[in-house]
Amino acid sequence: SYEMTQPPSVSVSPGQTARITCSGDAVPKQFSFWYQQRPGQAPLLVIYKDSQRPSGIPERFSGSSSGTTVTLTISGVQAEDEADYYCHSADSSGTYWVFGGGTKLTVL
């Protein structure tokens, strides 16, 4: 099996920058993805291929990768960004997929 590790929670004040990390041994070999999930809703893709932003996702969302860690950065956090965020990727063979445990972003 394979695991990706995220912090359980991150808290920031409105207007500040939130950074959510996700670590996994296969990060250098596989693209990672980030999903936002608000209560009662299906997940929404906010970053693909480590750092690409889908159309319709605000520019304040960005992604980066370094070594075995990928990072989701939300600049100028707004109240509406309060949600759970999940990283998603595969092991080095590309056949076993995992989600990170999820990070609850709280906007103070």
Partner 1 sequence: EVKLMQSGGVVVQPGGSLRLSCAASGFTFDDYAMHWVRQAPGKGLEWVSLINWNGANTYYGDSVKGRFTVSRDNSKNSLYLNMNSLRPEDTALYYCAKLAGHDGIDIWGQGTMVTVSS
CA distance 15 to 89: 29
Residues numbered 42 to 81 that lie near partner 1 (CB under 8 A) are 42-43, 45, 48-49, 52, 54
Least CB distance to partner 1 at residue 84 (A): 7
Which among 17-25, 33-41, 59-67, 75-83 is the span making contact with partner 1, rule CB under 8 A?
33-41
**Cα 31-36-41 angle, rounded to 5 deg:** 130
**74: closest CA among 42, 33, 46?**
46
Interacting residues toward partner 1 by CB under 8 A: 1, 31, 33, 35, 37, 42-43, 45, 48-49, 52, 54, 84, 86, 88, 95-102
